[in-house]
Amino acid sequence: RIVRGVRRRAPALNTVTVSEAGLGEAADEVVLDHAATENRVVISHDFRTMKARAEDRLRSGLSIAGLILVPQDSQLGQVIEDLVVIGETTTAEEWHGKIVFLPL
């Protein structure tokens, strides 16, 4: 629902789901590695394992393209708005090595 909403509000933003990238069943480490290689910020509801894997990568000297964590119970409209603002006002390079929590 989040991706559909972002695509509807800002169709020019280049969004890709893990399924579309062929990573639907991939481990968090694989998703983060792929995102770093493709220079894509990861957006996840997984506060426990995705955050831990991203922190592990940073501690070991590997990069992350950025990680935005969204609580499951967040207001859908607010999440979409925050992501559209992020996508339209920042560059991918600004997110390198960062872990951020929504809402902003």
CA 63 to chain centre: 14
For every residue of 33-63, DSSP letters joined together read: HHHHHHT--EEES-TTHHHHHHHHHHHTT--
Q: Tell me which residue has tokens 């119970």.
A: 73
Confidence at 104, pLDDT banded by 50, 70, 90: confident
pLDDT 10s digits, 46-95: 999 999 999 999 999 999 999 999 999 999 999 999 999 999 999 989 99
For 27-50, write each residue's pLDDT tens digit. 999 999 999 999 999 999 999 999
Bond prior to 103 in cis (omega within 30° of 0): yes
* Phi, psi (deg, nearest 5) at residue 86: -60, -50
